[in-house]
Each structure stands twice: as C-alpha cells, then as structure tokens.
A = this chain, B = another copy of it.
Amino acid sequence: MASSAKALWPSVEDRERERREKREAVLHAAVRSFNEKGFHATSLDDVANALNVTKPTIYHYFANKDEILFECVRRGLDSIRHAAEAVESEGGGGLERLRRLMRDYAIIMTRDFGMCVTRTADHELSGDSRAKFRALKREIDQTVRRVVEQGMADGSIAGGDPRLVTFTLTGALNWIAHWYDPRGALGAEDVADAAVATLVGGLAPRRLQGER
C-alpha cells in the first residue's frame, strides 16, 4: 500500500499532509515557547532552533510572527468555541449545560493552545489579527452568556447580571492557564471538577437535603 512507499515516493497528498504537519510542528514549538517565556521574549530563531531548522524555513510556512501567534490563539479559541457550541446543541437545563461547558473550558485551559489564549494580551497582536482575536473572544463570551441567561430563565441558575456572572466564571477558568502545571500531581480533570464545584456550589456551605 501507499504508506510503505510514501517515505521514498510520496504522493501529492502525502506532501500536502507533510506540509500541514510541519506547519503544526512550528505552531507547537512556538506555543510552548510563548507560554514559557512570553511572545516578545521568544525569537523566531528560538523556535527554529527548537525544530533544528533556520529562521527562513519558518517564513516558508508563515508570513510573519504575528500570524504564528494568531494561529496559536485561534486553535485555543476554536476548541473553546466547539465546546460551547456542542453544549448549546445538546439538551439539559441551563445549569447542567453550563456545568459541562465550564468543565470542558477548564480542561482546554490546561493545554498548550488554551493557555496561550489567556496569556496573550490583545496588544501583542497587531492590526487585523487583533481584531479577529477580539471578535472570537467576544463570540465565546456571548455563547457562555446565553447559557447563563437560559439558566436564569429556567430557574436553575441564581439571578444576577448575566454579563458580570459570565465574566466572573470565565475569569476563574481563564486563570487556570496561569497556574496549572501539567507536571504537577493534579490532572486537568481534577482541576476542572474542583473549579466547577466551587463555582456552582459557592463558598457558603449548602444545607443537606434533609436539614432544617
């Protein structure tokens, strides 16, 4: 079959796929460095070295540094958006939906591209990409807010200003990207479940079912 031959005589599709994979490899090397050292402190020579190539090779796959950062955050934002849309299309009351959404959101925040989203400030992107970045974030915010509103409407979520409630929730979740350490004892799921429990239950203890 083709797969054994492809190393020596790759087909057109093989080469297209390889190009995409190399592009992704650049993004992965870049996002790790961005998360570790920050966007400005990461030179494209750094990224190139991490991949054992030279800088012009990177420019063969991307127009400029901006585009690299944007593609990183886009991947993170797309994951969140897909999670949010999945939740909207499934059933359940507002709180139930929001709970699932927050859990998925939290887990994405423990991963490279997710971390990159909240560690990247708007002003690190320039011009067009910045506008797109903002638009994507706004879109997600609005989806989350709709779920919150739905929950308030069906009575499964306590009343309040949906905008402020949404910011409070996403703030707590976004912040995971600033402290989570994949090498630590806690898995992403542990962190996600704990965050959801605190946000849903609140700090004040709830009486048990039978209690007065």
Q: For the complex, would chain A's binding face be called helix, strand, loop or mixed by DSSP majority? A: helix
Of A2-10, A13-21, A68-76, A173-181, the one with at least 4 CB within 8 A of chain B? A173-181
Interface: A60 (CB within 8 A):
no
Asked whether, in the complex, the Cβ of B203 is within 8 Å of the Cβ of A95, the reply is yes
Residues of A participating in the B interface, judged by any CB pair closer than 8 Å: 36-38, 40-41, 95, 98, 119, 121, 123-124, 151, 155-161, 164-165, 167-176, 178-179, 186, 191, 194-195, 197-206
Which residue of the partner chain, among B40, B41, B168, B194, contacts A195 with CB atoms under 8 Å?
B168
Residue of B nearest to A102 (CB): B203
- Residues on B with beta carbons closer than 8 Å to the beta carbon of A175: 167-168, 170-172, 174-175
Contact (A204, B157) CB under 8 Å given A175-B174, A198-B164: yes
Which residue of the partner chain, among B38, B168, B202, B203, contacts A194 with CB atoms under 8 Å?
B168
- Residues on B with beta carbons closer than 8 Å to the beta carbon of A159: 205
Q: Complex Cα distance A198/B160, Å?
A: 8
Asked whether, in the complex, the Cβ of B124 is within 8 Å of the Cβ of A121, the reply is no
Asked whether, in the complex, the Cβ of A199 is within 8 Å of the Cβ of B202, the reply is yes
- Residues on B with beta carbons closer than 8 Å to the beta carbon of A157: 203-205
Q: How far is the CB of A201 from chain B (nearest CB, A)?
A: 5
7 contacts between A and B (CB under 8 A): A156-B205, A165-B198, A168-B195, A168-B199, A199-B203, A202-B203, A202-B204
Other than the given A151-B203, A164-B186, A201-B204, 15 more pairs (CB < 8 A) read: A38-B121, A95-B204, A119-B121, A157-B203, A159-B205, A160-B194, A164-B195, A164-B198, A165-B203, A168-B194, A174-B178, A200-B203, A202-B203, A202-B204, A206-B206
